[in-house]
Structure 1
Amino acid sequence: MLVAARFRRMIQETAGGLPRRFWWLWVATLVNRLGAFVVTFLALYLTSSRGYSPAYAGLVASLFGLGSAASSIVAGVLTDRIGRRPTLLAAQLGTALFTVVLGFTDGRVAIAVVAFLVGFCNNATRPAISAIIADIVPAADRVRAYSLNFWAINLGFGLSSAVAGLIATHGYLMLFLLDAVSTVLCAVVIFLRIPETKPDTPAGARADEPTVGLVTVFRDSRFMAVVGLTLLLALVLQQGATTLAVDMDRQGITSSEYGLVIGLNGLLIVLLQIPLTRWVESRSRSAMLAAASLFIGWGFGMTALAGSSAWFYAFTVAVWTVGEILYTPTLMGLIAELSPTHARGRYQGVYGLSWSLASFLGPAVGGVLLERAGGGALWGACGVVGTVAAVGYVTLGGRTGTAVAARSGEVVAVAAPRTEAVPAPAAEPASEAAKAPAGA
């Protein structure tokens, strides 16, 4: 009884007090990820079902990543210009359309082009979703909100990966169709339940001109430093989906053992994300990011010592997964607070570019290093990169705190369909106040 009461209290503290619109967005995200079959099985589909070479499958995967990178910037600008809701709906419907088209497409060039378009539309949802969360969730609760959103993504992805293998036995086309259906359902939920949250145009600004241009984002040295550090850690995390499998195969680890080891990543996120959320919120942001960087970097770094032990590989996955759990929601909260209110889409788009570039560059860089220098050099490099990122976050801690404090006086008037006047939310607290738990 005592354990059950503590668990209920933990759930209440983690999930309570967030706006209803956030929970509809959370449901839409979960539904979408529950049907995210194609990305996971695209390479296997191209090689086993369509008979293409592994090299061609890798090229298609790279083009998918390239489309994601391009959409980060485009979708970020559109999120600020035309609004969060239309950008998100267009991206979802485009993803559903091109996913179905990809299932029926044949020919090397045609498949490559459609895969690029699927990647473009699929990733275009990220800036809009992140901006909506920043718009509707108070600063003090954003780490918690981003953590719950991250949890929904991993829960849905884990379940979909398990089910997709069974569905694929009846034909890969069914994966494409069900993926498209889940994406359309997500768009329906957003259309019915998520109003536009784009802030009103500031007084004195032209309605047809953004307050902050894209060039301004790239000139924001503090923000771009955070993006650069994110790119470093994203390159490390990409090795978990690419070179880790190759290295384990070289050591004689079977494919079934690899599946169990890498599956531990999603399982731990589902089990630990909620318990760790409240603990992360009350800690120093720079300390959490630095600790997460070390967990991620040296979690992969210790892979060099695994040899042929699947248990040791599982241990390393557990270490860098804890780092991932600490890192993602904390970083998203920082990105939201570093973003000026009327340029959140652009800032989120540029931030997302780091992950897209990592998905494009990470497999190639890791593969070349593994092939030419060996596993010891690759995993050691991951540890060094994690250490560099940790030092960078500690160094930037005071500077980013100053930047957030400078923007804490912004007043946001959310433009949403309503029949009565809604007052603007209170000014966002400075960085230290933002880290306090809700109700503190």
Structure 2
Amino acid sequence: MVSKKIKPVLRKINPWSSLARMPRSMWAVSFATFINRAGSMFLTFLAIYLTKYQGYSIDYAGYVLSAYGIGSLAAGPVVGKLADRFGNLPIMKLSLLLSAFVLFLFPFFHEFWMIIVLTLVLSWVSEAFRPANLALISDIVKPEDRKIAFALNRLAINLGFSIGPLLGGFLIMFDYHWMFIFDGLTSLSALGFLMITTLSKEEKERRAERELNKEVESSEKVNPFRDPRLIYYVIALSPVYIVFFSQISTISLYVVNELKFPEPVIGALFLVNTAMIIFLEVPLNNAMVDWEDRKLLSLGGVLTGIGFGLFAFSHNIPMLVICIVILTFGEMIFSPASANYLAEIAPVHSKGMYMGFLQIVFNISLFIGPAAGAFMMEGLGSKWMWISCFFLSIIGVLLMWRMRTGHEKLATANE
């Protein structure tokens, strides 16, 4: 009796205590994810590589970044079917192997059309790791622990990202080719780690158990395309996510090409972002657990807009750090609330379909954001590009403030 009363208190004091319940297989998956993400520097420095090393214009860099978005957009639904048919772990291994192969090829091709093709292929095979990884976690972790498991996976991703850009910034000071080589080697290292684990047996056992307990599809399933809350959600959140993903091209181009800082500064700024997420995101959301999702989304959108808008007036490293801190607080508040809102409004038998819309928002924003940011920086100049990011975020905030709460029932669902 005492323990039941103490456990919630302990979770408040130490939000990491629940990770102790994770099985060894989950830690193995997380470690492989960490190794893979520790080499993630390709996308961070791609725009700089194309403009500074290959001599292409910012417009052309925007086209290449958009190609990456197109590839990642196509990966999700196709990979999901492949993982269901051949298993999640084999798809993860194949993703790592093919990613390394394409990365090793990249330095040997300089023609623009070949760079586009390689970027498309790389985005498709590398992004195939993510849905298969999440599906594998669902297979090897008990349902009541999945939320904790996904948090651990996110922690591994961010720890890896805290290392990747920083290493990349130093590697490209010697030669840009080292960026591709190191990224490919980390993919092979993660593959090697997965090869010596015993995850496949656990995956099959959990898959068999899930099939035995599979529920019959409900005839009351709601068509998500007829849910006005969901459609409004996609429209309202897209402006903020487009602004957020624009940083892939805009921050690196602004810091290196315009402010003339060396490449390691980019890595250091991303390190600030990732360190804040690792150490503050869970406690911050724990403190705001009773806040309504609509308010959290609006606050996160405002902070994101302010963080990006301040770049227009930031010409030294301290101000750049302040911008990163503000927009990171926005990200830490906005991202969890966006998923939680969908979980609240989704019918019991349609949660997977509803969550799929969040991935669609991600991928469309990844397709539009980097290219739009680069084009606006080229056409309007960096100052007006940053100011436009602020106003676009505020448009999203105004839309989100009018969203229905997650507890409101859809009238048509009960008719």
Relative to 1, partners in 2 of residues 1:212 and 1:316: Cα closer, same or farther, differing over 3 Å?
Answer: farther
Q: What residue in structure 2 maps to residue 319 of structure 1? A: 326
How much does 1:161 deviate? 2.1
How big is the shift at 1:327? 2.2
1:298-329 Cα distance to aligned partner (Å, 9 max, x none)? 2223334x253442332121111011122223
Contact 1:293 1:387 in 2 (8 A): yes
Distance of aligned partners of 1:185 and 1:211 in 2 relative to their CA distance in 1, 3 Å threshold: farther
Partner residue in 1 for 2:131: 127
Deviation at 1:178, TM superposition (A): 0.7
Does the 8 A contact of 1:84 with 1:132 survive in 2?
yes
1:97: Cα distance to partner? 3.8
Q: Which position in structure 1 is the counterpart of 2:338?
A: 331
Alignment match, 1:98: 102
**1:164 maps to what in 2?**
168
CA contact (8 A) 1:257 1:310 kept: no
User: Is 2:118 aligned against 1:114?
Assistant: yes
- Aligned equivalents of 1:44 and 1:307: distance in 2? 20
| 1:382 is the counterpart of 2:389 | yes
* Aligned twin of 1:70: 74
**Most deviating of 155-164 and 121-130:** 121-130
Structure 1 portions without partners, runs of 5+: 1-5, 408-440
CA distance in structure 2 between the aligned counterparts of 1:63 and 1:344, rounded to whole angstroms: 30
| Equivalent of residue 211 in structure 2, options 197, 200, 205 | 200
Q: Which residue of 1 aligns with 2:5?
A: none
Greater Cα shift, 238-247 or 116-125: 238-247
Q: Are positions 1:243 and 2:212 aligned together?
A: no
The gaps in structure 2 that reach 5 residues or longer are 1-9
The sequence identity of aligned pairs, in percent, is 25
Q: Comparing both structures, which one devotes a greater share of its residues to helix?
A: 2
Counterpart contact for 1:211–1:342, Cα < 8 Å: no
Alpha carbons 2:103, 2:183 under 8 Å: kept: yes
Contact between 1:84 and 1:128, CA under 8 Å: does it hold in 2?
yes
Task: State the shift of 1:63 in Å.
Answer: 1.4
Aligned equivalents of 1:279, 1:137: Cα separation in 2: 26
* TM superposition shift of 1:57: 4.3
Q: Distance in 2 between matches of 1:269 and 1:25?
A: 20
Rounded to whole Å, the distance in 1 between the matches of 2:12 and 2:229 is 40
> What corresponds to 1:412 in structure 2?
none
Contact 2:240–2:396 (CA under 8 A) maintained in structure 1? yes
- The corresponding residue for 2:361 is 354
Total equivalences in the alignment: 393
CA change 1:388–1:24 in 2 (3 A) is farther
- Partners of 1:344 and 1:85 in 2: how far apart? 24
- TM-score (normalizing by structure 1): 0.72
**Aligned partner of 1:293 among 286, 301, 315:** 301
| Partner Cα separation in structure 1 for residue 25 and residue 341 of structure 2 | 21
1:140 deviation in Å?
8.5
Quote the Cα distance in structure 2 between the aligned partners of 1:212 and 1:125. Answer: 33
Whole-angstrom distance in 2 between the partners of 1:336 and 1:24: 28
Aligned position for 2:4: none
Letter in 2 for 1:313: L
Q: CA deviation at 1:121?
A: 1.6
User: Counterpart in 2 of 1:424?
Assistant: none
TM-score, normalised to structure 2, is 0.75
**CA distance change for structure 1 residues 74 and 261 in 2, over 3 Å: closer, same or farther?**
same
Question: Residues 232-285 of structure 1, C-alpha deviation per residue, up to 9 Å, x if partnerless?
Answer: 222111233323444556874634695344542223223323433532445433
**What are the equivalent positions in structure 2 for 1:12-411 lying under 5 Å apart?**
12-13=16-17, 15-18=19-22, 20-46=24-50, 56-78=60-82, 84-85=88-89, 87-102=91-106, 104-105=108-109, 107-133=111-137, 136=141, 138=143, 142=147, 144-168=148-172, 169=174, 171-172=177-178, 174-185=181-192, 187-188=194-195, 189=197, 191-192=199-200, 195=203, 199-200=210-211, 202=214, 216-247=223-254, 252=259, 254-255=261-262, 258-259=265-266, 260-304=268-312, 306-335=313-342, 347-375=354-382, 377-399=384-406, 402=409
Q: What CA RMSD, in Å, does the superposition of the two structures yield over aligned residues?
A: 4.2
Deviations 1:145-167 (A, max 9, x none): 44443332121012122223444
Q: CA 1:311–1:270 in structure 2 vs 1: closer, same or farther (change >3 Å)?
A: same
What secondary structure, in the 3-state scheme, does the structure 2 residue paired with 1:195 have?
A: helix
Aligned-partner residue type, residue 396 of structure 1: M
One-letter code aligned to 2:69:
G
Q: Deviations over 1:23-56 (max 9, x none)?
A: 3332232121112243334445556666666654
* Matched position secondary structure for 2:119: helix
Residues 90, 147 of structure 1: alpha-carbon distance in 2 compared, 3 angstrom cutoff? same
1:64, distance to aligned residue in structure 2 (A): 1.7
Q: Which amino acid aligns with 1:297?
A: G
Structure-2 change in CA distance of 1:138 and 1:27 (3 Å): same
Distance in 1, matches of 2:162 and 2:55, equals 27
Residues in 2 aligned to 1:80 and 1:37: alpha-carbon distance in whole angstroms: 30
- Residue deviations 1:172-220, cap 9 Å, x none? 3532531431342364358447515564385556xxxx9999x955455
